[in-house]
Structure 1
Amino acid sequence: MNKTATFHEITEASLRPKLVRIEGNLYGAVFTLMKLVPARYILRRALERGDLAPETVITETTSGTFGLALAMQAALLNRRLVLVSDPVIDANLHRRLTDLGAAVEIVKEPAAEGGYQGSRLARLARLRAQLPSTFCPEQYTNPDNPASYTVIAEHLTASLGQVDCVVGPVGSGGSMCGTVRALRSATPHTRAIGVDTHRSMLFGQPDGPRQLRGLGNSLMPGNLDHAVFDEVHWCTAAAAYATTRWAHRRHALFQGPTSGAALLVARWWAAQNPDAVCVAMLPDEGYRYQDTVYDDTWLVQQGIDLMLPPEKPTELAHPTQEHSEWTWYPWQRRTLSDVLGRTTPAGRPR
């Protein structure tokens, strides 16, 4: 054994993405589990501040990979973790969470306002009131979430030099806002292209059922700084799934559907701007999706056709315009209230 080598816990060792060239000027930031970045940073900061005593229970609401990242870190810290989720959580993820020692509570019905996210937040508040000592990472509002992505911006700059454009899915707002703000401290021109999906309220659409999971939201997260974004794209599930499978066949990239959505948009933008360095944020590996996105039978059952998506998106006159295909809008680094001409659907101007 090399006694001079440095060894890390699995969460630290998996923190930075692998950077791969996909096509010409397009690079992929390929994460094993992107949510490890904020989960590890938030919990370490809580330890430093004294907010995470040995008897403190970590609590959070999640139906996806942030819960997995918390469960991994909580196991390493030997802390109890209780997660509040909803029926869309997949069985494989649920099994892994419980095997890591997390308790998972499932809310049964969506709230009248905010859907399942609203009912999850209400259950989380009741849970915290019942426990003597809790710490909630609050990924949607905790400024440590976007701050944690400074390390990713440093990694991109060290590896690629100047980054002209970052394309990535938007859910809590942490990864895109944190990464791009850190990059712009050196390169103010760096463009940010957010990828959302239909019936997500993040950029002005009315909230509703969403087939494409892992991005979008039913509530407005405090960490989403709309003025960071130059463009916003709305991607369909079919387009995201088709691009996810294309990336696996063509480039052996085994990632999830949010990565497919980001790649769809990034390929188009990079082709329009061949002299610019473009990075697509590819958040997590495809193992959770082997029974869904990577299963042709499941796709047929969902009515998904894997024909290649359109070569280019349709530009919208306004973000609230009704649409059901791959579309985009020139956001131009404006607040949501500036773009919509009114307060946000949550009642808060941003």
Structure 2
Amino acid sequence: MTAPFAEVTAAEEIPKIIRLDRNLYAASFSLMKLIPARYILRRAVDDGRIGPETLIAETTSGTFGLALAMQAAQLGRRLVLVSDPAIDDRLYRRLTDLGAVVDRVRTKAAVGGYQRARLDRLAEVRTEHPDSFCPEQYSNPDNPRSYALVAELLVEALGQIDCLVGPVGSGGSMCGTVGFVRSLHPHCTAVGVDTQRSVLFGHPDGHRGLRGLGNSLLPANLNHRVFDQVHWCSEPVAYRATRELHQRHSLFKGPTSGAAYRVAHWWARNNPDAVTVVMLPDDGYRYQDTVYDDRWLQTAGHLSGRQPVEPEPRHDVRDASGEWTNFAWGRRSLDDVLAALR
């Protein structure tokens, strides 16, 4: 009898559910962005939006681009990724080896930084190629919709889920997963993890060294009313937590996962009767020369200073100071939160 084998992207998108502590579990992904990439592209092929000659074009400087490149290769479609100088050489080589064209913008837009400049360039690419399809991870409702898969796996594995902690970038993973979990467990607490000088939850826009979370623009897929609490983590906090996750649990992850782990570990410890799940989005291979290199951490100043053991509460989301801070969001819109501060 022939075994039913899945294609590589279908197999790779499934997270491992790992117990980290008595009441803390991880949904550990090798590449979480495969979930929306595969879902969006497959649906577009099925309904005819992507034809045999259609160019797929998107803006990204991270793992969504890798997920698209993997899926485009499986589908046999051309792919252009509009990126910026933040894309690292390891990722660039992997993308181009998969057949993607990487178009890097070199100058920031006056408002919106590189992300705005990338969107402008993306519009030009699509004008140059009328037969094109853009996955639009920031605004396509198929992004959060795709995470029904993750919610189903978590509920099936754990039953009760009292708190879900995860990084926020496009808004898809947390908003989608929490939304589906709450259809069965309405009480589930959602804790979003961001970084300083990201506009997602009210901070003023500015330089962010921590990649993989945060944003310079507000994505349409970010539903602020999902979140009960928001945490902002600095680079040193995230990097040290990433190493701790590896050293304590042998999980080789990136700093986005490290930031989420730091917050989830604190939450689980302070809520011992709650079943807490943390989303760990990607592996650490891109960071072997940085986060996993003690000399790099020391030279960059990420090992100096005391590591906070808990967040500093903030009463104003516009305050971007501090190494690790949090805010009681209370499932409100961004406008409601900002209006309450006036």
TM-score range, shorter chain: over 0.9
Q: CA deviation at 1:6?
A: 1.3
Q: Give the counterpart of 2:143 among 137, 142, 145.
A: 145
SS of structure 1 residue aligned to 2:145: helix
| 2:55–2:80 Cα contact (<8 Å) kept | yes
Deviation of 1:14 after TM superposition, in Å, equals 1.1
Matched to 1:166, the amino acid is L
Cα distance in 2 for residues equivalent to 1:160 and 1:172: 26
1-structure distance, mates of 2:147, 2:306: 32
**Structure-1 residue corresponding to 2:326:** 328
- How many residue pairs are counted as aligned between the two chains? 341
Regions of 4+ moved over 6 Å? none
Q: Paired residue for 1:57? A: 55
- 1:107: Cα distance to partner? 0.2
Q: Describe how 1:61-100 pairs up with structure 2 within 5 A.
A: 61-100=59-98
Contact 1:242 1:306 in 2 (8 A): no
Letter in 2 for 1:5: A
Task: Provide the rounded CA distance (Å) in 2 between the counterparts of 1:307 and 1:9.
Answer: 47
1:215 aligns with 2:210: no
Residue from 312, 320, 339 that aligns with 1:341: 339
Say if 1:202 and 1:113 are closer, same or farther in 2 by CA, change over 3 A.
Answer: same
Q: Deviations over 1:210-267 (max 9, x none)?
A: 0111100000000000000000000011010001001111110000000000000000
Aligned Cα root-mean-square deviation (Å): 1.3
Deviation string 1:19-62 (CA, Å, 9 cap, x unpaired) is 11111100011000000000000001101211000100000000
Percent of aligned positions that are identical: 63
Cα deviation, residue 300, structure 1: 2.0
Matching residue of 1:26: 24
1:4, distance to aligned residue in structure 2 (A):
4.0
CA distance in 2, matches of 1:285, 1:136: 26
The answer for the alignment partner of 1:310 in structure 2 is 308
1:252 alignment counterpart: 250
What are structure 2's unaligned runs of at least 5 residues?
A: none
The aligned residue for residue 345 of structure 1 is none
Tell me what 2:196 maps to.
Answer: 198
Give the secondary-structure state (helix, strand or coil) at the position aligned to 1:79.
Answer: coil
Q: Is contact 1:30–1:281 with CA below 8 Å preserved after alignment?
A: yes
Residue 262 of structure 2 corresponds to 264
- Structure 1's unaligned 5+ residue stretches are 343-350
Separation of aligned partners in 2, 1:283 and 1:43? 20
User: 2:14 aligned to 16, 28, 31, which one?
Assistant: 16
Q: Helix, strand or coil for the counterpart of 2:277? A: strand
Q: Helix, strand or coil for the counterpart of 1:341?
A: helix
Indicate if the aligned counterparts of 1:72 and 1:100 stay in contact, CA closer than 8 A. yes
User: What is the Cα deviation at residue 307 of structure 1?
Assistant: 7.1
**8 Å Cα contact 1:166-1:192 kept in structure 2:** yes
Q: Deviations over 1:109-165 (max 9, x none)?
A: 110010000000000001100113000000000000000000000000000111111
3-state SS of 1:223 partner: coil
In terms of mean alpha carbon deviation, does 320-329 or 194-203 score higher?
320-329
**Contact 2:298/2:304, CA 8 A, preserved across alignment:** no
Alpha-carbon separation, structure 1, partners of 2:199 and 2:334 = 11
Flag the 1:112–1:245 CA change in 2: closer, same or farther, 3 A. same
Q: Distance in 2 between matches of 1:306 and 1:92?
A: 28
